[in-house]
Structure 1
Amino acid sequence: MKPLFVNKASLNRRLVVVFIFSVTLFLLDSHVSYFSSIKSHLATVLYPIQKTASIPKEIVIWVEDFLDSRESLRIRNQELEIENLLNNVRLQKLDALEKENHRLNELLGSSFRLTEQVVVAELLKIDSDPFSQQIVINRGQADDVSAGQPVLDAAGVMGQVMSASRFASRVILLTDPSHSIPVQINRNGLRSIATGRGFSKPLDLEYLPHNADVRVGDLLVTSGLGGRFPAGYPVGTISHIDHPLGKPFAEISVSPAAHLSTSQKVLLVKTIKPELRNNGEKKALVKDKGTEHIERPKNSEYSTEDRRIEFEGNE
């Protein structure tokens, strides 16, 4: 029968022997070159075992790096999509801004700047009702969305918010038969109203006489009248002009600029009050039925006629 406890003196002797043996090997390895070749052979023999033992760790590291890289690419891709959408919306207004800036500088003799805040939203639902053209987006009152707010995609105006709940909003598209939007021809500033006719149908450009300066291919942009849509955003392009006999107005069709049937991301535009600078003079902003006016100071050159100029500007 084996003893349950090892003799303490015997255990101490063993420890001393092991210690002496270890010290001896250390000294021989440090001063005798013979052991170098043995170590080299042992390292060669043990390398496959060490490599095999490290494989699970390398796999875990590779998987972590792959997942991190994939997630980073996904986040970066989303950021680039939003950045591209914002850049496209800014580019929409360049041509209109050049012409509008020239008109304003001539009219006011001042520099005018308007900043517009935007909120990116995604499409949640498309109504299948053939008599109304509406969509639902994933932004609502929690994101400071309100009824009447303009909605755009990367190509142009899509419509406006009809109603907003806490976390979603209903948008009426500009092709809806009940929707109209004030527009102007970007080439010459001629104003009119574009009205929807239903899905997949062009808009109607209304109330223009037969002799109006209108051409196929003319770009229509928001005029800013009414104070709801900021001026300068593309609405569509004139695709057809007809002059029916016996009618006072021409029949003009407009192809919408926005990608109404394919856009998944949209922008909600919120207009901020304009900043006006004119040789250090202060101007008073006067609100009148939802639009903003600029009232010239009493000592300005315009005060004799007491004129107020109504306009909408852009950045």
Structure 2
Amino acid sequence: MAVGTASLPPPTVYRPARSTPSGILPRNAAIKPLFVHGPSPTVRVILAAFLALGLIIADHRYHHLNAVRSVIEVAVYPLQYAANLPAQAFREMQNRLVGEAQLRLSNESLQHENLMLKGRLQQFESLRAENMRLRDLLGSSFDVGERVLIAEILTVDLAPSSQQVMINKGTNSGVFIGQPVLDAEAVMGQVIRANPFSSTVLLITDANHSLPVEVNRNGLRTIAAGKGPSQELELLYIPKNADIRENDLLVTSGMDERFPSGYPVARVKTVRQDPDNPFTTVIAKPTARLDRSREVLLVWSMDAKPSQSALAADTPAPAERP
């Protein structure tokens, strides 16, 4: 009798569970953090707002960030200089492409102007010598004249509420805070921040700037305050019976002992009487080319005793010659 083979179940194969290197779980495995590090986003925003407010107060009221700002401006100066290079190269190339005929006409015009200026200079030399003799008679002993340095405007602050420019001269060239700045026509402003290689100039039209001036025609003294974006000046506290007219030239009075006296500032544009205002409203237009000048003059006053120069401005002028 043949013995039949009974069917047996298939053998069970043991396969170990897959493991990842270094015990790293697969991507689809959910990881639940045990600890939450750091404050919540709301707390972070509140802390950042308080920190920003504190920095604003420290900078505006106590000027604690001036040193930091100065370091940043020194670091950014190479970038500003590099950004100005294309415009400077374009101007140089444009100057080289000027025609020979235009150069000839310009040369003739400059020669005529130079001859006229030399003639006026002879009169100024005579007047200065006479002025020195009169001051010697009054017992005033001081040096007259100014030392100047030419600087170039690098950037212009485009903010409507600010009238400032940056120049390419700094403390390494002897620039100091409060130094007067002029262009070829008149007073432009004064230095408010000086770094080793650049300086910031506050223009006379800025709302935060005021300048002692006098009417060149009759010596009437007043204060010229900037009006901001309008690029105009307003004369403060002018009595209604004051002798001031349109187109009167305003010059520096030297009473602040910062700006040398006698430099042109502006011309009177409008004179208006308002019944509700106890003073006369006078608006003046600066004679300096604030929006077009590329080069400026930094002025060092050579007065040995500034207080004496201020007092000398009060002395009566000699009678005019008939």
TM range (shorter): 0.5 to 0.7
RMSD (Å) for aligned C-alpha atoms: 3.5
Indicate conservation of the 8 Å contact 1:142/1:166, yes or no.
yes
Whole-angstrom CA distance in 1 between matches of 2:308 and 2:141: 15
Which amino acid in structure 1 is aligned with residue 307 of structure 2? E
Measured after TM superposition, the shift of residue 199 of structure 1 is: 2.8
Q: Which residue of 2 aligns with 1:225?
A: 255
1:123 corresponds to 2:153: yes
1:292 corresponds to 2:307: yes
Which amino acid in structure 1 is aligned with residue 169 of structure 2? R
TM-score normalised by the chain length of structure 1: 0.56
Q: What SS does the aligned partner of 2:152 have?
A: strand
Whole-angstrom CA distance in 1 between matches of 2:289 and 2:228: 15
Give per-residue Cα distances to partners, 1:55-106, cap 9 Å, x unaligned. Answer: xxxxxxxxxxxxxxx8xx9xxx9xx9xxx9xx89x98xx6xx88x949x659
Measured after TM superposition, the shift of residue 113 of structure 1 is: 4.6
Whole-angstrom CA distance in 2 between matches of 1:123 and 1:292: 32
The 4+ residue runs of structure 1 with deviation greater than 6 A are 109-112
Q: 1:145 to 1:292 in 2, by over 3 A?
A: same
Whole-angstrom CA distance in 1 between matches of 2:235 and 2:283: 6
Which amino acid in structure 2 is aligned with residue 194 of structure 1? A
Q: Which residue of 1 aligns with 2:289?
A: 259
Q: What SS does the aligned partner of 1:208 have?
A: strand
Which amino acid in structure 1 is aligned with residue 266 of structure 2? G
Structure 2 residue aligned with 1:153, among 167, 183, 190? 183
Q: Which residue of 2 aligns with 1:268?
A: 298
Whole-angstrom CA distance in 2 between matches of 1:241 and 1:106: 40
Measured after TM superposition, the shift of residue 164 of structure 1 is: 0.3
Which amino acid in structure 1 is aligned with residue 311 of structure 2? E
Figure out how many residues of one structure are paired with residues of the other and give that number.
199
Whole-angstrom CA distance in 2 between matches of 1:221 and 1:106: 25
Q: Which residue of 2 aligns with 1:188?
A: 218
Identical positions, percent: 49
Indicate conservation of the 8 Å contact 1:230/1:312, yes or no.
no
Whole-angstrom CA distance in 2 between matches of 1:116 and 1:312: 17
The aligned runs of 1:1-315 (5 Å cut-off) are 101=131, 108=138, 113-274=143-304, 291-293=306-308, 310-311=311-312
* Gaps in structure 1 of 5+ consecutive residues: 1-69, 275-284, 286-290, 295-308
Measured after TM superposition, the shift of residue 310 of structure 1 is: 1.8
Whole-angstrom CA distance in 1 between matches of 2:137 and 2:202: 35
Give per-residue Cα distances to partners, 1:250-291, cap 9 Å, x unaligned. Answer: 0000000100000000000000124xxxxxxxxxx5xxxxx4
Whole-angstrom CA distance in 2 between matches of 1:232 and 1:293: 15
Whole-angstrom CA distance in 1 between matches of 2:242 and 2:294: 37
Which amino acid in structure 2 is aligned with residue 269 of structure 1? V
Whole-angstrom CA distance in 2 between matches of 1:255 and 1:101: 30
TM-score normalised by the chain length of structure 2: 0.55
Q: 1:164 to 1:249 in 2, by over 3 A?
A: same
Q: 1:197 to 1:107 in 2, by over 3 A?
A: farther
Q: 1:258 to 1:145 in 2, by over 3 A?
A: same
Q: What SS does the aligned partner of 1:176 have?
A: coil
Indicate conservation of the 8 Å contact 1:236/1:258, yes or no.
yes
Indicate conservation of the 8 Å contact 1:225/1:311, yes or no.
no
Q: 1:187 to 1:214 in 2, by over 3 A?
A: same
Indicate conservation of the 8 Å contact 2:217/2:249, yes or no.
yes
Q: 1:149 to 1:219 in 2, by over 3 A?
A: same
Q: 1:107 to 1:310 in 2, by over 3 A?
A: farther
Whole-angstrom CA distance in 2 between matches of 1:173 and 1:110: 33
Q: What SS does the aligned partner of 1:151 have?
A: strand
Which amino acid in structure 2 is aligned with residue 268 of structure 1? L
Indicate conservation of the 8 Å contact 2:143/2:303, yes or no.
no
Give per-residue Cα distances to partners, 1:190-229, cap 9 Å, x unaligned. Answer: 1000000013332001111011010101000000011010
Whole-angstrom CA distance in 2 between matches of 1:174 and 1:201: 9
Which amino acid in structure 1 is aligned with residue 308 of structure 2? H
